Amino acid sequence: MTATLQLRVVEARELNPLIRMLRLKADDGSALPGYAAGAHIRVQVALPDGTQDWRHYSLINFATARNATNAPAEYRIAVRKEADGRGGSRFMHEQLKEGDLLTIEAPKNDFPLHTGPGGTVLVAGGIGVTPLASMAARRRAEDAPVRMHYAGRSQELMAFLPELRALLGEDLRVHADAEAGGPLDIDALLDDCPAGDRLYVCGPKVMLDAVLARTQARGWEHDRVHFELFTTSVAEEGDQAFEVELAQSGQRFTVPADQSILDCLIEHGCDPMFDCKRGECGVCTTAVLEGEIDHRDYVLSAREKAEGNVMQICISRAKGPRLVLDI
Ligand code: FES
């Protein structure tokens, strides 16, 4: 089990109407566990229904000393308010105050930065900028080529622009949809990537899917593209409720349109394995005995998806009215 820490909120500041930045420290001033660029912490949040849950937030660092995050004095995170989420981000925005204690788990890194030769291209969408900011600082610390494309709806809603401008100068390209009249041009961005550069993308699903589709179409090798999905909401327009049956126990539950199978099982007292809850890690892979799957993950291959024998229950859903799972 991962160790937990109690940290004090020493600063809570609204960067814009959607994003709140928090700085966390140990009460005794001791150094916190180190982390590498791309790492996140899990933070315990209180939900409106009185239950506790965990949310992931990437750790943000702009310092370019090579050892800046080896034994940091504080953690910095930023939280985007999700009006239609389950209440975790509203807790972080509306209830948590400076001086409060937060329970967190020590940092973990599912989005590691590959150091060494070659350039690094960072593609950030909205709050997805947080892990990429730490990667930019790390590559600067190594004197390695790095540039960032940072996209958002409008500059007013894009966090950390001053810090990123100071860190990256000309190597930061800012794209505000409202000013540009449309979304970031992924093809133009890829046209500019020298062979050998690695690309890291973090943002909403639509951005991730576009970058993955375009790099695949261009024949980029798999290990040149690294990604992390930035969402806590798995709902898509048109999602319907459906029934899941657990073949081993015979239990049946209705999965509401706005809930994942995983969360539904947890709510009913089951104990499924999971980690990322974003369809990226593969921990929640579950065998499916009956029913058509609406695959939404980044774990299974196209062949596995077509065969329809397994699914990621944290994010994928049913196309029809019912799924039978082999659990
Ligand atoms: S929990 Fe990571 S893929 Fe489902």
State the pLDDT confidence band at 236, using cuts at 50, 70 and 90: confident
Nearest to 77 by CA among 50, 104, 99, 52: 104
In the prediction, which pLDDT does 309 show?
96
Q: Does residue 234 have a pLDDT over 70?
A: no
Q: Report the pLDDT value the prediction gives residue 6, as an integer from 0 to 100.
A: 97
User: Which residue's CA lies nearest to atom 3 of ligand 1?
Assistant: 279
CB 229 within 8 A of CB 277: no
Mean pLDDT of 36-43: 95
User: pLDDT by residue (tens digit) across 118-176?
Assistant: 999 999 999 999 999 999 999 999 999 999 999 999 999 999 999 999 999 999 999 99
pLDDT score recorded for residue 244: 97
Given the structure tokens 């995983």, which residue do they identify?
Answer: 262
| Residue 223 CA, ligand 1 centroid: distance in Å | 20
**CA distances in angstroms from 263 to 26, 86, 164, listed in the order given:** 32, 11, 36
What is the structure's pLDDT at 298?
87
User: Of 262, 244, 261, which Cα lies nearest the Cα of 253?
Assistant: 244
- 96 burial type by CB count under 10 A (0-12 exposed, 13-18 middle, 19+ buried): buried
CA of 137 to the centre of ligand 1 (A): 29
DSSP string across 218-273: TT--GGGEEEEE--S----TT---EEEEETTT--EEEE-TTS-HHHHHHHTT----
Ligand 1 nearest atom to the CA of residue 313, by list position: 4
At 237 the pLDDT is 73
pLDDT at 233: 54
Q: pLDDT category, 222, cuts 50, 70, 90?
A: confident
Percent of the chain, pLDDT > 70? 98
* Ligand 1 pocket residue status of 284, Cβ below 6 Å: yes
Q: Which ligand 1 atom sits nearest the alpha carbon of residue 279?
A: 3
**Closest alpha carbon to 224 in 232, 239, 214, 237:** 214
Q: Is the CB of 130 under 6 A from ligand 1?
A: no
pLDDT of 257 strictly over 70: yes
- C-alpha–C-alpha distance, residues 286 and 188, integer Å: 39
104 vs 85 pLDDT, higher one: 104
Q: Which position has the higher pLDDT, 176 or 2?
A: 176
How far is ligand 1, taken at its centre, from the CA of residue 280, in Å? Answer: 6
Report pLDDT for 29.
94
Q: In this structure, are strands 146-152 and 172-176 parallel, antiparallel, or unpaired?
A: parallel
| Distance between Cα 261 and ligand 1 center (Å) | 11
Mean pLDDT of 94-103: 97
Cα angle 125, 106, 100 (rounded to 5 degrees) comes to: 85
What sign for the dihedral angle of Cα 135, 141, 146, 148? positive
Q: How confident is the model at residue 228 (pLDDT cuts 50, 70, 90)?
A: confident
Per-residue confidence (pLDDT) for residue 98, from 0 to 100: 97
pLDDT of the residue at 82 = 86
Q: Which of 108, 111, 276 to mutate to test the pocket of ligand 1 (most atoms within 8 A of CB)?
A: 276
Top pLDDT among 2 and 86 is at: 86
Q: How far is the CA of 163 from the centre of ligand 1 (A)?
A: 33
User: Comparing 29-38, 53-62, 164-173, 222-231, which segment has the lowest mean pLDDT?
Assistant: 222-231
**Ligand 1 atom at minimal distance to the Cα of residue 297:** 3
For the chain, the average pLDDT equals 93
* Reported confidence tier of residue 195, pLDDT bands at 50, 70, 90: confident
**CB of 276 closer than 6 A to ligand 1?**
yes
Strand 198-203 and strand 120-125: pairing? parallel
Q: How far is the CA of 182 from the centre of ligand 1 (A)?
A: 32
pTM over 0.85: no
The confidence score (pLDDT) of residue 49 equals 86
pLDDT at residue 251 greater than cutoff 70: yes
